[in-house]
Amino acid sequence: MTPPLRALLLLPSSAADRIVASQDRWGWLNLRVDHAEQLAMVVGFSERERIIWPVTSPLLDAHYLRVADQVARAGLWYRARPDLHALWLATAARSAQLAVDGFRQLIRGGWQPLPVDRAIPVLTWTEVDGQPAWQAWWAARDGVIPANVHVIDETTDVFAPLTPAWPVQLLAEVLVTVIGVGSIGSAAAEALAAYAVGHLALIDPDRLLQHNLARHRAGGRQLGRHKVHAIADQLAQRFPDLEVDPLPLNVVDDADVMRPLVARGDLVLVCADGVTPRRVANHLAVWAHAPAVLACVLEDGAVGEVLRVRPGSGSGCLLCHRAELQAAGRLDPQPGLDLPYGTGLQHRPMTAVGGDLALVGEFAAKAAVATLLEARGYHDQRLQAEHAVIGLRPVPGLTPPYDVTRAGEVRWSPVGPRRPTCPTCRLA
């Protein structure tokens, strides 16, 4: 016998539970198989000779093997004696195989003759400490060798393994509004979802065009769609419990709609291009007394910037920070943000690469989640300061705080107090 090495069988929990509850000793398995991956998924099963029960669930319906051919009665399941599973461990450790007669003696009945010309997958279950336990085998007439089985829990939350090490339940109730779902914002949205944030509102009027593909998290199959819908669909596939509100709105033109959206959320993450959208988003957040994190890349991708604006912190907003830099005669980092790619009198090339933009987006997502958790008593999530500069492709001659010298360097610095003359802070 030359069975696939490291073969894996996926067993949905609904099938496993029903097989155990049936109290039968054996049955058939319907499988969908990817031979190149040495992977098979149980998509149906029988109780003895009775009907093959189909296995369906949203998780399985989204699995790529659903498009593979279904092979009827391609495998078997048996109820086994505990000794057989002990032999699985010993046999696997030695990369050995069991004789068919020895294997047959340790199942509880219903033996079916094995095919003459091929090996087939076999699942066995027994009780260990009162709980059902499963093992997989590859069986042919010249012997039986161990394979692998993974029982898919179709009801468990994706983030269940993170509990209690991570505050999953707390973050599940959080709503973050992401303004700008381009190269930085799409990476930030994915990172927020991976942190177990339960609700996202995605704001961006732009559509996904071909020049975006080098840096955006959405791929070519989404060309032409609004970026918010493309990312919302991708997130739904990976995080089925995530609630996403995709809104193709312009933060400037639709400011009247944006005000209640910002006010209802727990935090605003601003990843928009352009000076005006960032200033408007900053203004809306301050007036709504909502914490905000603003992320961008500056100097043609030389550095990334993450700025935090928190109500009650005493620190100023984006406008205060920029005015502080200008008053000190330092770099004004913003004018280039309003130059679109390939349009206008001067062509602006894409100088920031996708990996760097994703790094800034994910860093901003971390800052956002840390801000939310620190405010709720998780002091291990306290950030060093309100302003971070990340070295991406540092260039000489930049003034502080942007004068990082190495790629990957992160420099934190405080933001000065609110200015009495700031048009945003003084009226908030």
- Contact between 211 and 183 (Cβ < 8 Å): no
Residues 119 and 241 occupy one common structural domain: no
pTM: 0.87
Strand 243-247's sheet: what is its strand order? 243-247, 199-203, 175-179, 267-270, 292-298, 303-309, 387-391, 410-413
Predicted pLDDT at 57? 80
- Among the three residues 152, 171, 190, which one is the final residue of a domain in this structure? 152
Q: Angle between the 183-194 and 227-238 helix axes, to the nearest 10 degrees?
A: 20
CA–CA separation, 401 and 403 (whole Å)? 6
CA–CA separation, 414 and 384 (whole Å)? 9
Residues 115 and 176 occupy one common structural domain: no
With respect to residue 3, please indicate whether it lies within any of the assigned structural domains: no
Residues 277 and 166 occupy one common structural domain: yes
Residues 275 and 236 occupy one common structural domain: yes
Based on its alpha-carbon atoms, the radius of gyration of the chain, rounded to whole angstroms, reads 28
Predicted pLDDT at 250? 96
Predicted pLDDT at 342? 41
- Among the three residues 103, 125, 152, which one is the final residue of a domain in this structure? 152
| CATH code of 298's domain | 3.40.50.720
Predicted pLDDT at 333? 56
Q: What is the number of domains present in the chain? A: 2
Q: Of 275, 304, 293, nearest to 375 (Cα)?
A: 293
With respect to residue 2, please indicate whether it lies within any of the assigned structural domains: no
Residues 111 and 210 occupy one common structural domain: no
Q: What's the token pair of residue 367?
A: 């800052």
Cβ contacts of 402 within 8 Å, gap of 6 or more: 298, 299, 302, 303, 305, 331, 333, 389
Predicted pLDDT at 1? 46
Give the domain extent around 131: 8-152
Predicted pLDDT at 428? 67
Residues 231 and 344 occupy one common structural domain: yes
Predicted pLDDT at 339? 46
| CATH code of 133's domain | 3.40.140
With respect to residue 106, please indicate whether it lies within any of the assigned structural domains: yes
Predicted pLDDT at 346? 42
- Contact between 315 and 334 (Cβ < 8 Å): no
* Average pLDDT by stretches of 10, the chain with 428 residues: 68 93 91 90 85 83 87 93 93 91 94 92 93 94 94 87 94 98 98 98 96 92 95 93 96 93 96 92 95 95 96 93 86 52 46 94 98 97 97 93 95 94 84
Q: What's the token pair of residue 15?
A: 């099938």
Residues 146 and 164 occupy one common structural domain: no
Predicted pLDDT at 23? 81
Residues 139 and 167 occupy one common structural domain: no
Predicted pLDDT at 344? 40
Predicted pLDDT at 327? 86
Residues 77 and 205 occupy one common structural domain: no
CA–CA separation, 42 and 72 (whole Å)? 10
Predicted pLDDT at 341? 42
Residues 142 and 169 occupy one common structural domain: no
With respect to residue 1, please indicate whether it lies within any of the assigned structural domains: no
CA–CA separation, 46 and 27 (whole Å)? 5
Predicted pLDDT at 102? 95
Residues 131 and 256 occupy one common structural domain: no
With respect to residue 301, please indicate whether it lies within any of the assigned structural domains: yes
- Among the three residues 135, 152, 169, which one is the final residue of a domain in this structure? 152
Residues 101 and 35 occupy one common structural domain: yes
With respect to residue 345, please indicate whether it lies within any of the assigned structural domains: yes
Q: What is the pLDDT of residues 5-51, one digit of tens each?
A: 578 999 999 999 999 998 889 999 999 999 888 899 999 999 766 78
Strand partners, 134: 125
CA–CA separation, 246 and 260 (whole Å)? 15
